[in-house]
Amino acid sequence: MALKMLLDDDEHSVEHLIISVNQHYDRVSMHGLRRELMEKQIAALNIPFTTIELPQEPSMEEYSQKMAEVVNMLRNQGFTHSGFGDIFLEDLRQYREEQLAQYDIKAVFPLWGKDTKELVNDFIQSGFKATTVCVKAEFMGEEFVGRDLDEVFVKQLPAQVDPCGENGEFHTFCYDGPIFSNPIPFKRGENTYREYESPQKDAESIKIGFWYCDLLPD
């Protein structure tokens, strides 16, 4: 939805996409989406892109260094703005703005402040189609992963889960919609449960669990 709004906005021209990829697993970071499906998705958008290749478990220092390399490259090519799909997380917005200010790049948030229930309904009614590839086990069980993001899914979400997953409760793979030249064909594979160390410095030994659905190119 953020990309659609920027593409429809006369003030901006979207010329490049940036995607972080876990080089060890050859998948999109956090989402667990296979690189091949990501590339098919981008081909359907017909926008040039650059990947940020990250190690298996990158530190914040490693992430920041890799990101800085790409941002510097794009700035040297004349880019002045960077768009994000954030909706209401103030600390995340501030982090992005402060980091990009070092490179004289302005952050743009086309979805900022919108009602997330209305936003997910607009997403569905606009013809976008997406399936959940990752859900946080703290809030949702295995039955929520590998499902289409539709009206039924939204109605069945636990009360504490944001309708857009803005707090990281779930992540999706968008495979069709008005900004795509064609839908991306895929098959649902196995579901997998994984745990990771909490990034909170004061939460030693605490693990965070996620359910993943492995999507396969079709």
SS (H, E, C) 98-123: HHHHCCCCEEECCCCCCCHHHHHHHH
Structure tokens belonging to residue 138 = 């703290």
Residues 77-108, buried b or exposed e (16+ Cβ, 10 A)? eeeeebbbebbbeeeebeebeebbeeeebebb
With beta carbons less than 8 A apart as the criterion, state whether 112 and 184 touch.
no
The pLDDT tens digits of the residues spanning 27-50 come to 999 899 999 999 999 999 999 999
Q: Where are the domains of the chain?
A: 115-218
- Please give the backbone phi and psi of residue 215, each rounded to the nearest 5 degrees, phi first: -90, 135
Cα 165 to Cα 123: distance, rounded to the nearest angstrom: 13
Report in angstroms the alpha-carbon separations of 168 from 11, 120, 172. Answer: 30, 15, 11
Q: Global pTM?
A: 0.92
The pLDDT tens digits of the residues spanning 141-175 come to 999 999 999 999 999 999 999 999 999 999 999 99
Q: 3-class SS at 2?
A: helix
The pLDDT tens digits of the residues spanning 72-116 come to 999 999 999 999 999 999 999 999 999 999 999 999 999 999 999
Cβ-based neighbour number of residue 187 at 10 Å: 9
Percentage of the chain exceeding pLDDT 70 = 97
